[in-house]
Chains A and B, each alone.
Chain A
Amino acid sequence: MPNQEKSKEKDSKLTTRRDFLRGAGNYTVASLSGAAMLLSNPKPAKANVTWAEHFQKNYRLMTEEEKQEAIERLETRYSEEYGQKVTVDGTPSIDGVLFGYALNIQKCIGCRRCVKACVAENNQSRGDEQQIEWIRVLRMEKGNFSAEDRDQHGYPESFGVQVGGNAYKPAGVVLEGQHYYEPDQVPEKDAFYFPMQCMQCEKPPCVKVCPVRTTYRDPDGIVVVDYNWCIGCRMCIGACPYWARRFNWGEPNLPKEELNPHTHYLGNRPRMKGVVEKCTYCVQRTRKGRWTACVEVCPVGARKFGNLLDPNSEIRKVLAKKKVFRLRADLNTYPKFFYFMD
């Protein structure tokens, strides 16, 4: 059945309205029979678990027992699906901790190791069909401004303007900066690099717009998503000024052998189709004292992370001693992600 649908999607040009209706009919029948099976025969472990998952409460409103139940349900299902012991952690935020992140843009070499480390740690979907990466690295060209060029020729074409984008073609990048750079060696002499990820805002616009309040900010400053309560409306994606959120358009592709079995309920547990996800400062690691995967992997040590409430933490030293800025501070989102220079 899913294969049929896929092939239909592929030659969508040939799809007529009648085909579409027939497909939709099939789909309804399938879902109805599925529900019937669930109702009549609740024995298979997976069906049972999925049924219960569908009808659980918003994670924030659950009692401790309900949270524990939800976690155990997931552990059972994931362990079965992935053929190994998968742990789902529910560690709440630590008192007296407010996480902060600082990135030295002078040091960043644009090697994208943080991007791939994040994928390995946080169980994102990978492959050609659906690739999700929480960190994006922009390559910025060093400008060589010459007054004569501007006088004679004006600004270069497509400078900071949205490119493309109509019914047949996806829109290009709206800001200055290159996502898809592929030189043999980095850093290049005439470029610098600007990584972006979730800024864990103090006043997060994504939280404001979420109609079901499934995304919220925990006391330690991490903005988290309860994937089970997410309805996939993608309002948060539109609201986020930092392009930090990603959507699972299809069933995520996560090979069994590449799964990271140490997961957190609000973090890197395997996601399902139709939910939004984003950087969580590796909540499964940081709430247990460990540095995030991107901090650890950065080969130049450009990434710094720590407790903003501890006056002796390295993040506080960065804020005290270096030149620091926050991205789009004019929006009053109060990010907990700082950029700095030596």
Chain B
Amino acid sequence: MMTSYRNYLSIMGLCLLAILSIKPALGAELPQNSECFESRDGMSQVNVHDTATGVVNVKCSPDTGGVLWWGDPFEGTIPMGDMEVEADYWHEEAVVKPREPQIDRNKMLTICGMACHNGVYVPIPYNKDPRPLKMHLDIIPDAMNLKHGKGSVWCLDCHHLVDRTKLIDNFGYSVSFNQPQKLCGKCHGQVYRSWRDGIHGKRIGMWDKGGKKRWWVCTECHNPHDVEQGDRNSGYAQLAPEPAPNLPKGMTNADHERMHHGPSKSESLH
């Protein structure tokens, strides 16, 4: 019942988007973004709508399309499930936003799981040497450009051999896409412990002891297929910044603060 209603809404939303995109001439007066991203552009999208309490669930940045404000921090979340948490925080209500709907947005996961990778007819590669696989570029655009583990890790070290809607940990147990920390933590133990303590990663909701918290899981911020991000060698992809503050009145540019270390550049400024 609910899902059909949501489908109806999303269809309406699509129509609206289509209508809006037909009129690019009105671009200057576009209304508030109807969709924005949380941490990973393209992989953590949220639709803006009113919540039951009368406030919007999120406010989007008009400049960068990122989430700027959370009206309802627990929207669309599910209980995190079993996880060892240090100290006496075990009784807290910890929730996560399931990753599967996000990954399955274009229904590829569903179709793949039913068609080829249904557990009966499965193309299992005999050669298990790490190598790029030239397939599924439609759902994983960076499949040929895997930047994780310096060439010693490949698809089937993380993805389930038979059940493609699941991940796999180093013991061969299947792990849900919703709980990637159970897989990532096997190698990145230090970060995992830090995340468990609430030091690494993001949480929103209530700060107080015993309060409900939404935890961000690994893949909500990091792209597991490209954790190097080129020569920046950082786990977080670049994004567009919000606009700079206004210059003080009477100041025409900010050249005064642009100083460069080393004389060659500073000379060119003056």
Contact = CB atoms under 8 A, between A and B. Distances in A.
Interface in B210-260: 211, 216, 221, 231-232, 234, 236, 238-251, 254, 256-260
Given A120-B68, A170-B250, A185 B199 contact: no
A312 interface: yes
Contact of B244 (A144, A170, A176, A181): A181
B46 to A, nearest CB: 13
Interface in B168-190: none
B208 A178 contact: no
Contacts of B69: 117, 120-121, 293, 296-297
Contact of B242 (A116, A172, A178, A304): A116
Contact of B66 (A113, A179, A317, A321): A113
Contact of B209 (A159, A299, A312): A312
Contacts of A173: 256-257
A243 B4 CA distance: 53
A184 to B, nearest CB: 7
Nearest to B210: A289
A146 B260 CA distance: 13
Given A145-B261, A295-B204, A182 B266 contact: no
A120 B207 contact: no
B113 interface: no
A126 to B, nearest CB: 10
Interface in A147-205: 149, 152-154, 156-159, 163-164, 168-170, 172-173, 176-187, 189
A53 B171 CA distance: 68
A321 B197 contact: yes
Contacts of A46: none
Contact of A313 (B59, B209, B258): B209
Interface of A: 107, 109-113, 115-117, 120-121, 128, 131, 133, 136, 141, 143-146, 149, 152-154, 156-159, 163-164, 168-170, 172-173, 176-187, 189, 286, 289-291, 293, 295-301, 304-307, 310, 312-314, 317-318, 321-322, 342
Given A157-B270, A293-B69, 11 more contacts: A121-B69, A185-B238, A290-B207, A297-B70, A298-B202, A299-B38, A300-B202, A301-B216, A313-B207, A321-B197, A321-B199
12 contacts: A112-B244, A115-B245, A146-B262, A158-B266, A180-B244, A186-B239, A290-B206, A295-B207, A297-B68, A299-B38, A314-B199, A342-B200
